[in-house]
Chains A and B, each alone.
Chain A
């Protein structure tokens, strides 16, 4: 993927954009094959850098049959390292969300990626269960890039296509978890065939994800822009973007109960996806006596389904929102994620290789689509603390992975099959709280919008700012967003309320 040329628009009063935009200069269309600055370029930069982080974080699992012999690991050591790999990002995601709110997604994500690259380089020189655990722990921090991806897309794309943009960026990034199960055994095989020993070949192989990660961070820094109008710092200096305070961002994020519910439910679609990325290769290798290469291919197909499944989730979210608004988004999320749980239960119970592969692929579709659907809802939970809410939800995803691996996949308490079935049951239980998410202006799963006349989008988003701040005009961004989010009322939306400069969206 080549990104050539400089940004053609100037940071003047009325910049020209290649894509049609709304009043916040967010694109109202999503053109997958374009690399036009700043919108689509931001999309491609964010998914590629996120992809690189996923490749690094899950580079170890497909090579575990070799690594476990080289480092003398026990099943408990492997389980602990797996848990460590996803636990770091749980809190890093919240921190990065806040950093995005304060410094912009470009600097925040590139900093994280470059600061975690050393952990990947050091994996090559790990020599004990402890060092293995540590490198996996620190490498896993890079998964926090997810938050900057979602923040960036929510800043670049309008309400009509934000679900699709978020779903595609995250989905194609998550692809890394699948691609790495193919890439690493392949690279390992190549290096070993050139003449290296098994115990050296896997170490050399780790330089590939490490270098990829470093280079993608450079690309983000050189070619990316935080907002359609430019980067945070120059905009803040020019007064075009107000600088917000950490304490306020934090307060408005954590007091919003919807953020907490979505954090829990995301733990049981994305968290499950991470868990499966960690265990599935070894599961197929050990249970069905497959070769390393074959187990890797099968395991890869789980993560590779992300190429369509997560974007499909985003698309479904946007499509149901057109007709049913936010209520449609919530229902779709609940249905898809619950079905994911059902197929997970079935996966743990099938006995044959063929059936396992088939069920796994169906399960992966529902699990990953649910992730896409979640981030069709997240951009609307808060405007002021978008980064923090994204971070909380994302962090919840990782915590779900930690919890699930701790309960079902550590040591030898449950067989992997039983663990998978029980995980499916837990998915269904933890998806239920979506029923409690309610927006006064749009409604929830079981209740319509509030009949009070003050239940409007403006009321909801401006409640995050106090009178003092409104006097200073700090709430202007939220005001524009409230206006643009009126489409979440669904097909019943008043055509008069639609802003004049908004063009009808077209789906790619």
Chain B
């Protein structure tokens, strides 16, 4: 009897756990237990490839003890603020974290030790392939199965405060500009050269 009840209970329980087992982690199911701060001030503009961000993260001291027992890794990411997601479906925020495209740039990943509760930090130079946009920083805590279990971010729940901007590199070089112009001029000039040649040949006696 007890065995049957246990079986039933575990079946029922597994129905709730199945989504997690099958990898569907919803952002709304995560607890905000991490404290994350980043060096850029609100509205600051950082230059891609030049400026640095110092991120600091750690467990929020007000949460109950043992909450972080499952945390194995912390990944800190650069995430798009809502204003940079407008009319850009490829940066959409979706509750299903597998499909979520809010945080596309990894800053750092560090293993987490629950025994050591001191905050960790990392200095990161904004990479040169980070596009021009408005950002905030978010850290996800992963368990041993590489599933998100908690998070923390530098902005509020509506992602409106404490946002900063990145000004990306253009990717252009003076050499490239010069080549473009030269080849273009050459194309047009050679066309007129051909015309002139045709005219000359037509004038020549057959």
Contact = CB atoms under 8 A, between A and B. Distances in A.
Contact of B176 (A125, A214, A221): A125
B131 A72 contact: yes
B171 A114 contact: no
A234 interface: yes
Contact of A125 (B128, B131, B169, B172): B172
B90 A65 contact: yes
A125 B26 CA distance: 42
A199 B181 CA distance: 19
A471 to B, nearest CB: 29
Contact of B191 (A70, A110, A202): A110
Prevailing SS type, chain A contact patch: helix
A214 B187 contact: yes
A75 B89 contact: yes
Contact of A199 (B88, B89, B169, B195): B169
Prevailing SS type, chain B contact patch: helix
Contacts of B172: 124-125, 127, 200, 203
Interface residues of A, number: 41
A72 B89 contact: no
A370 B106 CA distance: 48
B176 A70 contact: no
Contacts, number: 101
B89 to A, nearest CB: 6
A69 B187 CA distance: 30
B190 A218 contact: yes
A331 interface: no
Interface in A97-153: 107, 110-111, 114-115, 117-118, 121-122, 124-125, 127
28 contacts: A68-B90, A74-B88, A111-B191, A114-B187, A115-B188, A115-B191, A118-B185, A121-B183, A121-B184, A121-B187, A122-B180, A122-B184, A124-B172, A124-B180, A125-B172, A125-B176, A198-B171, A199-B129, A199-B170, A199-B171, A200-B172, A203-B171, A204-B176, A207-B179, A207-B183, A221-B194, A286-B90, A412-B89
Interface of A: 65, 68-70, 72, 74-76, 107, 110-111, 114-115, 117-118, 121-122, 124-125, 127, 197-200, 202-204, 207, 210-211, 214, 217-218, 221, 233-234, 237, 286, 289, 411-412
Interface of B: 86-90, 99, 128-129, 131-133, 168-173, 176-177, 179-181, 183-188, 190-191, 194-195, 198, 202
